[in-house]
Chains A and B, each alone.
Chain A
Amino acid sequence: QVQLQESGPGLVKPSETLSLTCTVSGGSISGFYWSWIRQSPGKGLEWVGYIYDNGDSNYTPSLKGRVSTSVDSSKNQLSLTLNSVTAADTAVYYCARGGRHVIAGPLESWGQGILVTVS
């Protein structure tokens, strides 16, 4: 059973850069679509972006220009970077494994999430 674990600083200052890592265990990164999703306090789920193991990626329009993702297959890790953060970026950030070779597949495995506060 694949397991995902987000890690990174829980507190980031406004205008600085948020950097998170998702470590995947019990399975390979290869062949899957990987998504980042966030949830502001008391709000719903917001898709942030996806990345495939070949580096193909896309992001939600509201964050485009500030967000990027990468994959390190040698470490079985994903990373998320969000620049110029504001209080509106305060949220629980989740990584999730999507479909195998199929972008429309479900987000079948999720990390426990990490709360990042911008203050």
Chain B
Amino acid sequence: SYVLTQSPSLSVAPGQTATISCGGNSLSTKNVHWYQQRPGQAPILVVYDDSRRPSGTPDRFFGSNSVNTATLTISRVEAGDEATYYCQVWDATTDHFVFGFGTEVTVL
């Protein structure tokens, strides 16, 4: 089965940049979506199709996808960005949806 790997956690100071990685075999051939989940809340979509932002997502959120790694970059981090971020793809080989393990972002 297809696996997406993410680092468990990272800490970042307000105003700095958070870089969240998502690894998978030939990931650049798939559409990667990113979700933000604040504690006690449902996930919300923040980036889709590698780099597109839904209306409502600040332009501080930037997505990219190359070879085997997709990246979600959050610039000028704010306290409200503190959450767990999940990457997700649909794997055509298995016809399954796959989530990464999640990266918990702490704003210092």
Contact = CB atoms under 8 A, between A and B. Distances in A.
B42 A110 contact: yes
Interface stretch (B9-17, B18-26, B71-79, B95-103): B95-103
Interface string A1-25: 0000000000000000000000000
A107 B33 contact: yes
Interface in A78-111: 94, 103-108, 110-111
Interface residues of A, number: 21
Interface string A32-57: 00010100000011110010000000
A47 B98 contact: yes
Contacts of A35: 97
Measured as residues with beta carbon below 8 angstroms from the partner, the interface class of chain B is: 20 to 34
Given A106-B49, A107-B35, A61 B86 contact: no
B61 interface: no
A61 B1 contact: yes
Interface of B: 1, 30-31, 33, 35, 37, 42-45, 48-49, 54, 84, 86, 88-90, 92, 95-102
7 contacts: A44-B86, A45-B99, A47-B98, A94-B42, A104-B92, A108-B45, A108-B48
Interface of A: 35, 37, 44-47, 50, 58, 60-61, 94, 103-108, 110-113
